[in-house]
Amino acid sequence: MIWNRPMETMARKELEALQLQRLKALVERVYHNVPAYREKMQAAGLTPVDVQSLEDLRRLPFTVKQDLRDHYPYGLFAAPMREIVRVHASSGTTGNPIVVGYTRKDLDTWSEVTARTLACAGADADSVVQVSYGYGLFTGGLGIHYGAEKLGATVVPMSGGNTQRQLKLMQDFGATILACTPSYALYLAEAIQEMKIPREKLRLKAGIFGAEPWTEEMRRELEYRLEIMAIDIYGLSEVIGPGVASECPVKNGLHIFEDHFIPEIIDPETEQPLPYGEKGELVFTTITKEGFPVIRYRTRDISVLHAEPCPCGRTHVRMEKVSGRSDDMIIIRGVNVFPSQVESVLLKLGLTEPHYVLVVDRVGTLDTLEVWVEVSDKLFSDEVRNLEKIERTIQRELESLLGLTARVRLVEPKSIERSEGKAKRVIDRRKKQ
């Protein structure tokens, strides 16, 4: 199902004309309404009249997360507060939180793009959508909620946590679409097995999973355990929240809704734009937002863009699944390591449970990596030599992929903390030294 066929299947030439029109209007608005943007543009010797083509976008300065913190709370809003009808914010665990504001039109736009996201997973007016993302200042819950309502679906606003109640209502209310993080979906799958809930009592058909990087191996695990189609979705509060991009059933990349967001890929070191097909850091410009637009916002997410049309009929550029974050990347002895690489090895081998954590430490002047991996009850009670054999197998595969030695430690069942939101995959003890 394609929710907005005229926009989602628009010819590239027509789409680019629309993008340019909206980009010019955006630059004009922020230049006159947001002093911080005006100062950055003036420092680069630019005014709105200098933006006459889509190629001119790369001349504009980047926006980074620190800019948002420096102008906390409302300094980057492009609309007066009387027009802002809602604010959301990040958790703010380090420094000031990131605050984003929405006008009434922005909320309509958000509902539109999340309706498209749900439609990509096959949702329609007959669907029952269980939203198990967090509600409140976090954008996940409410973003999907209003998209489902726009679609005409029935919304079950569960929020995160309270797993037993989640599963009871999933059965009683007949949920057909599950929206949550992939790590929480895996937790729910475990709970379904432990509670011995028969699959015929569940009506789930698809899940839309996002808010953290996850691998193809994790997708296969979720689809096998939950017997659903698992769809990757992408969004971030600074851009709008969920609804920036979504896979379709073809699962050949996430369609970016380019009539609202212009994507770029840059080299995170040189900051130079990269062509389609090359891996780098995702950068977004919002071309329809009124309250809190961003120009060339560096997401720190690592991906690849592809421009070829999809067999589903959508014509917008597709992004590959996020493979990691440039700021979450661990550098160990000069080697870049992403948790998703470890996850892919564990799930490919299938010898352990899919719960793991990377422990990084420093012994003297040498960085070390230890991977803790959970095993099943049956395996944990196995002979020591069998456990050691599994450790060696995983270690060998990791060394082949990463190009460095990582010690593998098998740990007892349920010893790694479960997450009802984003999973914590890294413990970096170097920061405490």
Q: Is the pLDDT of residue 92 over 90?
A: no
Q: Is the pLDDT of residue 433 over 60?
A: no
Alpha carbon separation from 151 to 182, 274, 280, 398, 416 (Å, rounded): 23, 36, 34, 44, 38
Read off the tokens for 430: 């170097």
Compute the average pLDDT of residues 195-204.
97
Backbone angles phi and psi of 18, in degrees to 5: -65, -45
Q: Is the pLDDT of residue 29 over 80?
A: yes
Residue 65 corresponds to which amino acid?
K
Q: Is the pLDDT of residue 335 over 90?
A: no
Mean pLDDT, the chain, as a whole number? 93
The tally of CA atoms less than 13 A away on the side-chain side of residue 179 is: 37
Q: Which range has the worst mean pLDDT, 4-8, 67-71, 245-249? A: 67-71
- Residue 12 to residue 177: CA distance in whole angstroms: 31
State pLDDT tens for residues 117-167. 999 999 999 999 999 998 989 899 999 999 999 999 999 999 988 999 999
Q: Is the pLDDT of residue 202 over 50?
A: yes
pLDDT value of residue 383: 81
pLDDT value of residue 297: 98
Q: Is the pLDDT of residue 379 over 90?
A: no
pLDDT band at 431 (very low <50, low <70, confident <90, very high): low
pLDDT value of residue 295: 98
- Residue 108 to residue 103: CA distance in whole angstroms: 9
CB 119 within 8 A of CB 102: no
All structural domains of the chain, each given as residue ranges with its CATH number in brackets, are 1-326 (3.40.50.12780), 330-428 (3.30.300.30)
pLDDT value of residue 236: 92
pLDDT band at 46 (very low <50, low <70, confident <90, very high): very high
Alpha carbon separation from 117 to 110, 243, 378, 433 (Å, rounded): 11, 6, 40, 44
pLDDT value of residue 97: 85
Read off the tokens for 387: 């456990």
List all residues 6 or more positions away from 28 whose beta carbon is below 8 Å from its beta carbon: 48
pLDDT band at 93 (very low <50, low <70, confident <90, very high): very low
CB 416 within 8 A of CB 372: yes
- Residue 339 to residue 371: CA distance in whole angstroms: 10
Q: Which range has the worst mean pLDDT, 21-35, 118-132, 321-335? A: 321-335
